[in-house]
């Protein structure tokens, strides 16, 4: 059962068809901004999607969503708990610690989201490598923002009956993140796109990840993903350790 924590993806090891108007104003210029600045720009342009973004201790173990919201001083009326009866832990999508996850809730009668990012990104701290750290955190952030956007648009989340199409929700977040950075590849987005492609290709071949992958390659063919990943800071050949996404508690 989903408990409002929808699909953060774990680590660099596995990692709207049209851009929103706000995205068109974005300039990912590596020459005059650091990767951290790009992280902050993305927070800004999606502020209408989610304003609650919290860094948490890397040793954090997921609690009840209500506890995480209270600890982050986020006001809410009710945590949204979505289910997808077509997915079970046997599909290779169990609850697991994630470097990024989203809690959905109701406040003032409206759906809202809170994003939580661990303060070490895939085990890498800012002191280890500032650029790599903020590159990875930016990918985590954009992926989770796409889940928050998905909720607001009601594409794969059904508020009326509290259900979600988990596979389509993951495909949506992955495709939107790839498309965003590909559209800005000449303005500093290329390393983000390439790293994300590496993560997708490095996912374990469980039943549910296979379904998600098959959905992604309908938009971005596997050959294109491999070409992008080959130019990544971390190549797929060095990226074989399977890790798991944190979808929620199933």
The mean per-residue pLDDT over the stretch 94-103 comes to 73
With pLDDT > 70 as the criterion, what percentage of the chain qualifies? 76
pLDDT at 88: 72
For residues 184 and 170, give the distance between their C-alpha atoms in angstroms, rounded to a whole number: 22
Q: Is residue 127 part of a domain?
A: yes
Residue 9 has pLDDT above 90, yes or no: no
| Strands 110-118 vs 52-56: parallel, antiparallel or unpaired | parallel
* Most trustworthy range by pLDDT among 20-34, 80-94, 205-219: 205-219
User: What pLDDT is recorded for position 122?
Assistant: 81
pLDDT beyond 90 at 4:
no
- The whole-model pTM stands at 0.82
Q: Which of 26-40, 179-193, 225-239 has the lowest average pLDDT?
A: 26-40
Q: What percent of the chain clears pLDDT 90, i.e. is strictly above it?
A: 58
Q: What is the mean pLDDT of residues 70-83?
A: 95
Give a yes or no: residue 12 inside a domain.
no
Q: Is residue 1 part of a domain?
A: no
The DSSP bridge pattern shows strands 100-107 and 157-158 to be: unpaired
The pLDDT value recorded for residue 142 is 97
pLDDT at 25 over 60: no
- Check whether 90 has a pLDDT greater than 90: no
Residue 203: what pLDDT?
Answer: 81
pLDDT digits (tens, 9 = 90+) for 183-212: 999 888 999 999 999 999 988 778 888 999
- How far apart CA 65 and CA 69 sit, in angstroms, is 6
Residue pLDDT, tens place only, 106-138: 999 999 999 999 998 888 889 888 889 999 999
The SS3 of residue 213 is helix
Please check whether residue 97 lies inside any domain of the structure: yes
In a domain, 250, yes or no: no
Is residue 9 in a domain? no
Between 58 and 136, whose confidence is greater?
Answer: 136
State the Cα–Cα distance between residues 65 and 56, nearest whole angstrom: 14
Q: Average pLDDT in the 40-51 region?
A: 94
Predicted pLDDT of residue 214: 95
Q: What is the pLDDT, as a whole number, of residue 193?
A: 96
Question: What is the structure's pLDDT at 236?
Answer: 55
Instruction: Report pLDDT digits (tens) over 123-176.
Output: 888 988 888 999 999 999 999 999 999 999 999 999 999 999 999 999 999 999
55: burial class by Cβ within 10 Å (0-12, 13-18, 19+)?
middle
Q: How confident is the model at residue 13 (pLDDT cuts 50, 70, 90)?
A: very low
User: To which residue do tokens 């374990």 refer?
Assistant: 204
Q: How many domains does the chain have?
A: 1
What does pLDDT average to over the chain? Answer: 80
Domain residue limits at 210: 21-238
Beta carbons of 136 and 105 less than 8 angstroms apart: no
Residue 247 lies in a domain: no
The Cα 205–Cα 221 span in angstroms is 17
Q: Does the residue 152 lie in any domain?
A: yes
């Amino acid at each position: 059962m989903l408990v409002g924590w929808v699909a953060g993806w774990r680590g660099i090891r596995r990692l709207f068809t049209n851009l929103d108007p706000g995205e068109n104003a974005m300039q990912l210029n590596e020459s005059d901004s650091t990767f951290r600045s790009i992280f902050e720009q993305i927070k800004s342009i999606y502020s209408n999607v989610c304003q609650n973004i919290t860094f948490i201790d890397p040793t954090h173990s997921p609690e009840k969503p209500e506890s995480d919201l209270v600890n982050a001083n986020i006001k809410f009326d009710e945590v949204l708990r979505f289910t997808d009866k077509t997915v079970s832990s046997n599909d290779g999508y169990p609850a697991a610690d994630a470097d990024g996850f989203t809690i959905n809730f109701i406040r003032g009668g409206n759906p809202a989201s809170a994003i939580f990012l661990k303060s070490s990104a895939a085990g890498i701290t800012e002191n280890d490598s500032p650029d790599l750290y903020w590159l990875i955190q930016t990918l985590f952030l954009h992926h989770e923002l796409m889940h928050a956007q998905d909720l607001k648009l009601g594409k794969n989340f059904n508020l009326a009956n509290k259900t979600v199409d988990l596979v389509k929700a993951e495909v949506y977040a992955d495709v939107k993140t790839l498309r965003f950075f590909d559209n800005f590849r000449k303005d500093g987005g290329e390393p983000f796109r390439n790293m994300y492609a590496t993560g997708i290709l490095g996912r374990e071949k469980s039943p549910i990840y296979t379904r998600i992958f098959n959905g992604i390659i309908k938009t971005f063919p596997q050959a294109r993903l491999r070409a992008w990943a080959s130019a990544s800071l971390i190549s797929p050949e060095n990226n074989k350790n399977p890790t798991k996404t944190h979808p929620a508690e199933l």
